[in-house]
């Protein structure tokens, strides 16, 4: 992976940014941080206390080593997780949610509550929409 910009060797999300609307822009930045299939699950686990690599691998079911590492690195880079290496043998590494991440989690809960309140409303809207483009009965 010979890339001129020598900073990081792992794939790290390049901030898309560059929006015009200040609010949309800000929200998008947060979203980019916690979007992706795994970030929230990992954050959630680490919010309950320090977690080791393999603990996360088991706790966040379905994740691959690769995605675990990648997501961990991005969260660490954004200051949402701290990575602590114990120079023992065998090696031991712990990931901990930062206070900032715990605050973020509170905001995410408000999002979740919105989803709970409107779960059925959304489901209804979906089926209504999907049925309105009705399949031709003559087929």
Partner DNA sequence: CGGTATCCCACTCGATACTG
Partner DNA sequence: CAGTATCGAGTGGGATACCG
Residues of this chain that interact with its own copies (CB under 8 A) are 6-9, 16, 19-21, 23-24, 26-31, 34-35, 37, 40-41, 44, 61-62, 76-79, 100, 103-104, 107-112, 114-118, 121-122, 124-126, 129-131, 133, 135-136, 139
- Taking the least distance from each CB to DNA, the nearer of 66 and 119 is 66
| Residue with tokens 């979906």, as numbered in its chain | 126
Partner in contact with 90, chosen from its own copies, DNA, none, beta carbon below 5 to 8 Å by kind: DNA
Calpha distance 134→128 (Å, rounded): 10
Calpha distance 74→12 (Å, rounded): 6
Q: Are 49 and 67 in contact (CB under 8 A)?
A: no
Contact flag: residue 96 with DNA (CB under 7 A): no
Contact flag: residue 119 with DNA (CB under 7 A): no
Q: Which of 122, 55, 134 is nearest to 93 (CA)?
A: 55
Query: Quick check: bond before 72 cis, omega within 30?
Result: no
Binding region for DNA (CB under 7 A):
1, 9-11, 13-14, 35-38, 52-55, 62-67, 69-70, 72-73, 83, 90-93
């Amino acid at each position: 992976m010979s890339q001129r910009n020598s900073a990081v060797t792992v794939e790290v999300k390049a901030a898309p940014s560059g929006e015009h609307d200040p609010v949309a822009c800000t929200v998008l930045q947060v979203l980019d941080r916690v979007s992706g299939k795994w970030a929230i699950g990992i954050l959630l686990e680490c919010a309950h206390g320090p977690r080791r690599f393999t603990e996360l691998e088991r706790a966040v079911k379905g994740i691959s080593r690769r995605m675990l590492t990648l997501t961990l690195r991005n969260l660490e880079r954004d200051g949402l997780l701290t990575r602590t290496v114990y120079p023992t043998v065998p090696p031991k590494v712990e990931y901990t949610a930062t206070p900032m991440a715990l605050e973020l989690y509170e905001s995410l809960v408000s999002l979740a509550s919105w989803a709970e309140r409107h779960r059925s409303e959304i489901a209804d809207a979906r089926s209504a929409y999907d049925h309105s483009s009705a399949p031709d009965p003559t087929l």
